[in-house]
Amino acid sequence: MTRSSVLALQSSGAPRSVCGLTSVPYKIRRSVRARHARLIVDAAGVELVLPERMRVEDVEEWVESRRPWVERTLRRYEQAASELPPIALRDGGSVPYLGEPLELRVLVESGRKRVHVKRENDVLTAKIGRSGELEHALENWYRARAFEEIGPRLDAAVARAGRNYERLQIRAQKSRWGSCSSTGTLCFNWRLLMAPPGVLDYVVEHEVAHLDAPDHSTRFWAIVDERCPQRREHERWLKRYGSALHLA
């Protein structure tokens, strides 16, 4: 169960919030797995995760103590988003594809039952039945392209490593760019298709290295550095701009 509230981030005389202050909206989510309260801050906003029986009032002081960190994190996300070409989900707007902008053309056709998204050169045309379908239609398009872009990269990286993998999956992980299971399934976040090619290549090499070293040991990083000498540069890019790679 989730509900919206307001995080106490500013000490002003504005409307009363949970902590008696104002300002940044956030969601409260109850979790049967949570043992302690925790704050999640990402590009989608702020979320307070609570154990099922914990009262919001019991964590007000703790939430307020996290205010500086929340403010810094939100500012960092805003700054990163401002440094990249804007993502505008509207006719005449644009979306990124492997680090380059695609002009977005949106055709709303009343009565259309199936959406259709097609790229021609640097133009991405989306035919939808209503405006609310655009984000979902674009995500599905990115997911399909992810198999096309990541599949060959993964096959080549695995061949160079002299390894095998079980299958490729494309997901929408909230906090991961990729993962490698003990059974050899490699998963990648479709949002990587919005990043520059070198960043995508790095994440592929990162996960393939896990086929040899399942942890993040010194040996693992030595393998990654050998296969991707610019990995620190790509890591910094993801850390700074990864939060801005979203359609919502």
The ranges assigned to domains in the chain are 2-77, 148-244
Output the pLDDT for position 106. Answer: 96
Distance, in Å, from the CA atom of 245 to the CA atom of 248, rounded to the nearest integer, reads 9
At 13, the pLDDT band (50, 70, 90 cuts) reads: very low
Is the pLDDT reported for residue 128 higher than 50? yes
Flag whether the pTM goes above 0.85: no
Is the pLDDT reported for residue 164 higher than 60? yes
Percent helix, percent strand, percent coil in the chain, to nearest 5: 40, 25, 30
The mean predicted confidence, pLDDT, of the chain is 87
Beta bridge partners of 100: 97
Is the pLDDT reported for residue 65 higher than 80? yes
The three-point CA angle 68-73-78 to 5° equals 125
Give the least confident one: 6-20, 83-97, 216-230: 6-20
CATH code that applies to domain 148-244: 3.30.2010.10
